[in-house]
């Protein structure tokens, strides 16, 4: 897990004593049956007997009020973060304190405080080492706010790194059984860092740490995919196995590709397309995300000295041509994740008010970049997400770019650093597409119909509003007329290093075969020159996430990391690393 794990455990014991005292104080004067639940001694000093936990309530899992949503139409959006451990947490972020046998009391106190201060926030925990049944019972059988509130722990993020994959999966199974066996949190989502229902990846170097069989046998119902740009797990130009000459294209495209692979697996076999439906059978992807984290990646260690934190220094005469992901790039990734079906994200930044994986970049800034990408920076797109019938437009990793599509392991997104995602609502008759180009050259993207039933057109005549475009093989006047290879009415040009948002309306209009036909009118030589079709027709576009400074110094974690504790609080900070050797 890290070089300071023993220090963390010693500190955790101290935190546990502090937290337990806080919970005893919280429970003072409450009914005796509540005191019994937590083993609190009365004035006589004798522990009261613990009664049987109450049975689960009758409502089915989907409707159970204790399984709290992170993402719903209408503006519900909650995120987790490595450093959000104390109540009430930052805006839009719910706390997930570190749970161990020695921090039980502190976790109880923080979860109760969160439920009291901000009742709308969900509750969750992070578990880094196996916990006892007593600890599990205390946390997962508790009613928040203490002693008898309506809330339960709804999200459990496992992060077992000791031992081999088999022992880690065994620990996940135990944790899942502890949660499922509880009387109050038995419906919670449970996952493990980088445990997904996939056996291979086109974007990962070597083999994956776990298999689909591991995911299934563990009982997990939450895929916590690692999506750290800079991670040694991803292919990149710096490792000699990426098709684009720019490092930044791999840092941007590979995590989106990996996220898409996992979501496709969830959609196929785990009801992943039911984004807003909660329950044990409706699996969610909540990936671990960061702007940058290159721990253990010697190919991105600019000075070759891992002793100073694998520093990746990107300096270019033009900051927009640097290789370090910008803040805008990070927000764009977040929106691509959401457009492709992610339920929420779990942010790793180790900020605590300081820097987070990039020198001069704070944890607060990282959280704001997540907000901007998910909803705050794209209000029109957010209005579409808020429609109850919103759906992803595409999961393609092989778009048609500059008139051609790739094949095999090298997709056009990898080759060109260019990718598009989208969301649409038929009730609103609106669709937004995010097109990103991390290359140093501009590219044309051709939009297919994607997962919608209607084709996408990017041109309309400024006078008539009509559009044009012919599918290959269509005939008119006994002549095959194909859409131009570059440009045309089904394509859009995306400048180098830009994220562009394109907005479309669902309309029924004339679609002429060619621009010349549109100019000629309804018919020519007795032949009809158009079709009346329902299509997605371009409305407007503009650049988004325009912070494109890609210079700076990337680091895997802050230069000063330690264990912090304060009376009445529970704050555990430790390094977030993956130390497994790559195959």
Domain 5-53+74-377 has CATH 3.20.20: yes
Query: How far, in Å, CA of 540 to CA of 510, rounded?
Result: 19
Q: 183 to each of 57, 66, 105, 130, 241, how far by Cα in Å? A: 9, 11, 19, 20, 49
Q: Residue 100 region, left (φ>0) first, then alpha (ψ -120 to 50), else beta?
A: beta
Tens digits of per-residue pLDDT, 222-275? 999 999 999 999 999 999 999 999 999 999 999 999 999 999 999 999 999 999
Among all chains, which residue has been given the structure tokens 């430790």?
574
Say which residues have a Cβ less than 8 Å from residue 58's Cβ, sequence separation at least 6: none
Q: Where are the domains of the chain?
A: 5-53+74-377, 394-544
Per this entry, what is the length of the chain? 583
Per-residue pLDDT tens over the stretch 283-340: 999 999 999 999 889 999 987 887 777 889 998 888 888 999 999 999 999 999 999 9
Tell me if 141 sits within 8 A of 185, measured CB to CB: yes
As a whole number, mean pLDDT of residues 133-159 equals 97
Report residue 336 CA to chain centroid gap: 9
Pairing of strands 430-437, 418-425: antiparallel
The per-residue pLDDT for 41 is 35
**CB-based contact 559:327 (threshold 8 Å):** no
Q: What letters, b where the CB count within 10 A reaches 16 and e where it falls short, cover 439-475?
A: bbeebbbbbeebebebbbbbbbeeeeebbbbbeeeee
Can you tell me the distance from the alpha carbon of 175 to that of 476, in angstroms, rounded to the nearest whole number? 65
Pull the structure tokens for residue 253.
């495209």
pLDDT digits (tens, 9 = 90+) for 367-417: 999 999 999 999 999 999 999 999 999 999 989 898 777 655 558 899 999
pTM of the complete model = 0.85
Contact 168, 191 (CB under 8 A): no
Q: pLDDT tens digit string along 513-565?
A: 777 777 776 766 667 778 888 999 999 999 999 999 999 999 876 543 332 23
pLDDT-based confidence at 351, cuts 50/70/90?
Answer: low
User: Is the CB of residue 510 less than 8 Å from the CB of residue 531?
Assistant: yes
Helix, strand, coil percentages for the chain (3-state, nearest 5): 25, 20, 50
């Amino acid at each position: 897990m890290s070089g300071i794990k023993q220090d963390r455990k010693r500190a955790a014991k101290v935190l546990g004593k502090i937290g337990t005292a806080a919970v005893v104080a919280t429970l003072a004067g409450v009914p005796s049956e509540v005191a019994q639940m937590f083993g609190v001694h009365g004035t006589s000093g004798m522990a009261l007997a613990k009664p049987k936990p109450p049975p689960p309530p009758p409502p089915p899992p989907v409707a159970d009020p204790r399984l709290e949503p992170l993402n719903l139409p209408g503006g519900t959006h909650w995120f987790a973060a490595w450093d959000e451990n104390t109540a009430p947490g930052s805006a839009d972020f719910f706390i997930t304190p570190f749970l161990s046998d020695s921090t039980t009391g502190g976790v109880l106190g923080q979860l109760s405080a969160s439920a009291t201060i901000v009742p709308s926030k969900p509750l969750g925990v992070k578990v880094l080492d196996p916990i006892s049944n007593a600890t599990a019972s205390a946390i997962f059988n508790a009613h928040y706010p203490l002693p008898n509130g309506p809330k339960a722990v709804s999200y459990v993020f496992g992060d077992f790194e000791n031992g081999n994959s088999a022992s880690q999966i065994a620990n996940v199974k135990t944790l899942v059984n502890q949660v499922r066996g509880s009387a109050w949190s038995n419906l919670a989502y449970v996952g493990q860092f980088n445990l997904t229902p996939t056996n291979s990846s086109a974007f990962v170097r070597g083999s994956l740490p776990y298999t689909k069989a591991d995911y299934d046998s563990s009982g997990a119902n939450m895929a916590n995919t690692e999506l750290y740009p800079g991670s040694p797990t991803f292919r990149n130009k710096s490792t000699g196995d990426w098709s684009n000459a720019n490092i930044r294209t791999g840092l941007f495209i590979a995590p989106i590709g990996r996220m898409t692979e996992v979501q496709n697996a969830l959609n196929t076999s785990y009801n992943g397309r039911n984004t807003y439906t909660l329950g044990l059978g409706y699996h969610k992807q909540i990936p671990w995300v960061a702007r940058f984290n290159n721990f253990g990646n010697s190919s991105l260690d600019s000075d070759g000295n891992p002793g100073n934190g694998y520093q990746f220094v990107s300096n270019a005469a033009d900051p927009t041509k640097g290789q370090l992901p910008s803040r805008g790039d990070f927000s764009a990734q977040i929106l691509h994740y959401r457009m492709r079906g992610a339920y929420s994200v779990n942010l790793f930044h180790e900020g605590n008010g300081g820097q987070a994986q990039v020198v001069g970049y704070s944890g607060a800034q990282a959280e704001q970049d997540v907000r901007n990408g998910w909803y705050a920076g794209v209000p029109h797109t957010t209005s579409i997400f808020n429609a109850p019938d919103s759906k992803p437009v595409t999961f393609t990793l092989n778009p048609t770019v500059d008139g051609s599509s790739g094949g095999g392991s090298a997709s056009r997104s990898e080759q060109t650093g260019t990718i598009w995602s989208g969301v649409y609502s038929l009730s609103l008759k609106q669709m937004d597409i995010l097109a990103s180009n991390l290359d140093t050259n501009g590219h044309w993207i051709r939009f297919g119909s994607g997962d919608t039933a209607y084709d996408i057109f990017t041109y309309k005549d400024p006078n008539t509003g009509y559009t044009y475009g012919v599918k290959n093989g269509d005939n008119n006047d006994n002549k095959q007329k194909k859409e131009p290879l570059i440009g045309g009415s089904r394509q859009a040009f995306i400048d180098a290093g830009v994220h562009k948002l394109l907005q479309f309306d669902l309309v029924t209009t004339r679609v002429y075969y060619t621009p010349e036909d549109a100019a000629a009118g309804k018919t020519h030589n007795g032949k009809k020159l158009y079709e009346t079709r329902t299509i997605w027709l371009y409305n407007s576009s503009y650049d988004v996430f325009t912070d494109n400074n890609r210079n700076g110094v990337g680091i895997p974690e802050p230069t000063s990391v330690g264990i912090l504790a304060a009376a009445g609080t529970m704050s555990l900070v430790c390094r977030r690393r993956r130390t497994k050797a790559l195959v």
